[in-house]
Amino acid sequence: MDWKKRLAAVLLTALMAALCCVPTLAVSRRYSTYVVLGDSIAAGYLLPGYKYGGKEIAAWTVTKGSYPSYIAKGVGASKTYQMAHGGYRTEELRLLLDDSYQGDIIGTRRLPAKNGGRELDEKAIARLKRDFRANIAKADLITLNVGSNDCTQAFAALRDMTEENVSTALSLAFSDRDPISTLGESLAFALKLTGDSVTMARLAELELESYLVFQQNFDAIVRQIRALNSHAKLVVLGVYNPVEVASVDLLLTNVQYGQLLNPVVDIFNTYMQSGSSYRDQYTFVPMRNIETYVGIGQLGMDPDILMDAHPTPTGHRQMAEQVLAVL
């Protein structure tokens, strides 16, 4: 019967290893209705089982293995409204919550549109506004994870700049992919232009523009959430550098070009953590050491090739653990 004992030991070891991969679920209190606001990171893009819910639907099915799925389980939520949408910036979320705001030119690529994508579909937008606001009003827990596309859109715009007065909005309007998805190749492109002082100055200008707009939008979003719901626990997740480990060998030197994004990430996080006028309305949680597909050989590719910047399954568990730690 020694083989049975050995088999039992193997199974026990496998079970313990699996348990170690599950986020700690102990929290100080329970929450019944959980609302998820954010972009493709919160939506669980690239995870097995991820299904795009469509631009016209406010609440999607929670993707298994995404950080919201772990949080929902950890707090014992009986209802979760997963309202994170791929590509969302603060621009899109503010438009859905603030009737005084019209958004920018890129909104037609992120929100329901008509006439070949040239203008917003106001009827569909009205339904989205209604559902977003109704669900937020029901919640006793809300997580807000937006800003990654805001802080990386200037790098995406850099690849398309052809005119001296190009703006972030105009450049991105012609791109079908989200800034966070193209960040790797955009940074690699930026690396080639480091000797071009004019282009680098333009990049800095675009990034400053994005940051200033983000400040206004972020405050408006928090203000509108609180106008709809003054009692819910609101947790704001910080922005992490999804390509921090990216590097390339140049002239016998390993250049950590993914770290070019660190100062940008820092200023966005600093604003959310301590700069916002609404800082006392939410709990800020910095995201640290989040594993992404960069450098791990996504889809069997060379691990040195810069790959998609979204979290891996491990990265989602890490994000959930850091949020659950404050609940």
CATH of the domain at 242: 3.40.50.1110
Query: Is 109 part of a structural domain of the chain?
Result: yes
Query: Is 11 part of a structural domain of the chain?
Result: no
Q: Quote the pTM value.
A: 0.80
Query: Is 196 part of a structural domain of the chain?
Result: yes
Higher pLDDT, residue 191 or 266: 266
For residue 12, pLDDT over 70 is answered with no
For residue 286, pLDDT over 60 is answered with yes
pLDDT for 103-114, tens place per residue? 887 788 889 999
Please compute the mean of the pLDDT values over residues 24-51 and round it to a whole number.
88
CB atoms within 10 A of CB 5: 9
Query: Is 148 part of a structural domain of the chain?
Result: yes
Query: Is 165 part of a structural domain of the chain?
Result: yes
Tell me the two tokens of residue 62. 């929670």
Query: Is 16 part of a structural domain of the chain?
Result: no
282: amino acid identity, one letter: Y
Residue 224, pLDDT score: 98
> Could you give the CA distance from residue 1 to residue 82 in angstroms, rounded to a whole number?
50
221 neighbors 90 (Cβ within 8 angstroms): yes
For residue 124, pLDDT over 80 is answered with yes
Residue 9, pLDDT score: 47
Please compute the mean of the pLDDT values over residues 313-318 and round it to a whole number.
95
Residue among 10, 168, 185, 187 nearest 90 (CA): 168
Number of domains making up the chain: 1
Tell me the two tokens of residue 180. 């966070």
With pLDDT > 70 as the criterion, what percentage of the chain qualifies? 68
Query: Is 21 part of a structural domain of the chain?
Result: no
Range of the domain at 213: 31-324
Query: Is 281 part of a structural domain of the chain?
Result: yes
Residue 160, pLDDT score: 54
pLDDT for 204-262, tens place per residue? 777 788 899 999 999 999 999 999 999 999 999 999 987 776 655 555 566 565 677 78
